């Protein structure tokens, strides 16, 4: 994390490290690992590269199964800048060097149309999950993210597989505390967005995506990530 000398970041780092003990994060991580372990033999761990999925991956790799199966969905250059995508893949490799990593790229992600045609995205994504053939898909979903996710529960049975949510009872503080305590890598773009919207609201989502328009994401991207607006190719983070 290149912003380690920033006073703003250091204050938050101290807060999250203190919360690790105060919030009982270690015990929550152990519980998450125990809950997930029975599903790993016939399951695959879906990792977006965001803070929650990376924390979940670290918990499962260090406490359960170093050589587990990992699935990563590459949204393509129009939805996920290549610089961020590289950081995600490097982070996964650093946390789980012995894992069997399966990467699938969204075909429509190479076209500008992907920024507004998200229904096609869902069709392609779920079709890919079905093709993988795993009985269980472990996801870094938390109950406090939204009422909808809270209502889904910790285990969701779908037609062809079952979703399992190991860190379901983690709060946003728990996740960040775990990430800072264990040095779990995450994309640097988080720093830019967290400074503006707060650590409790920042999330890694597709950029300039009309699906998230109701949350103001495309407008926020236009201010913070304007260099990526019409540049689907390699770009840097400033």
What are the structural domains, with CATH classification, of the chain? 5-187 (3.40.50.620)
CA gap 201, 189 in Å, rounded: 14
Q: What are the mean pLDDT values of the chain's consecutive 10-residue runs (238 residues total)? A: 69 98 98 98 97 98 98 97 97 98 96 93 94 96 85 89 97 98 97 94 94 86 90 60
Determine how β-strand 162-164 pairs with β-strand 155-157: antiparallel
* pLDDT per residue as tens digits for the range 104-140: 999 999 999 999 998 999 999 999 999 999 999 999 9
| Torsion sign over Cα 220, 226, 200, 33 | positive
What is this structure's pTM? 0.93
Residue 210 CA to residue 58 CA, distance in Å, equals 31
What's residue 217's pLDDT? 86
Contact between 40 and 60 (Cβ < 8 Å): yes
């Amino acid at each position: 994390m290149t912003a380690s000398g920033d006073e703003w970041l250091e204050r938050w780092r101290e807060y999250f490290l203190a919360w690790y003990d105060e919030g009982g994060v270690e015990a929550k991580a152990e519980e998450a690992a125990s809950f997930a372990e029975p599903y790993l033999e016939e399951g695959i761990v879906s990792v977006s590269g965001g803070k929650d999925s990376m924390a979940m991956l670290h918990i499962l790799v260090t406490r359960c199964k170093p050589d587990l199966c990992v699935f990563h969905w590459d949204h393509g250059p129009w939805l996920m800048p290549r610089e961020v995508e590289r950081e995600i893949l490097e982070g996964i490799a650093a946390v789980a060097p012995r894992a069997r990593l399966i990467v699938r790229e969204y075909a429509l992600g190479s076209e500008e149309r992907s920024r507004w045609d998200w229904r096609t995205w869902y069709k392609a994504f779920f079709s890919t999950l079905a093709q993988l053939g795993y009985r269980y898909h472990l996801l870094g979903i938390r109950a406090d993210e939204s009422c909808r996710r809270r209502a889904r529960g910790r285990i969701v049975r779908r037609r062809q597989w079952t979703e399992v949510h190991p860190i379901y009872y983690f709060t946003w503080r728990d996740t960040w505390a775990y990430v800072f305590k264990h040095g779990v890598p995450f994309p640097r773009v988080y720093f830019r967005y967290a400074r503006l919207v707060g650590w409790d609201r920042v999330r890694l989502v597709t950029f300039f995506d009309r699906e998230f328009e109701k949350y103001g994401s495309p407008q926020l991207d236009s201010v913070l990530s304007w260099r990526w607006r019409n540049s689907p190719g390699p770009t840097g983070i400033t």
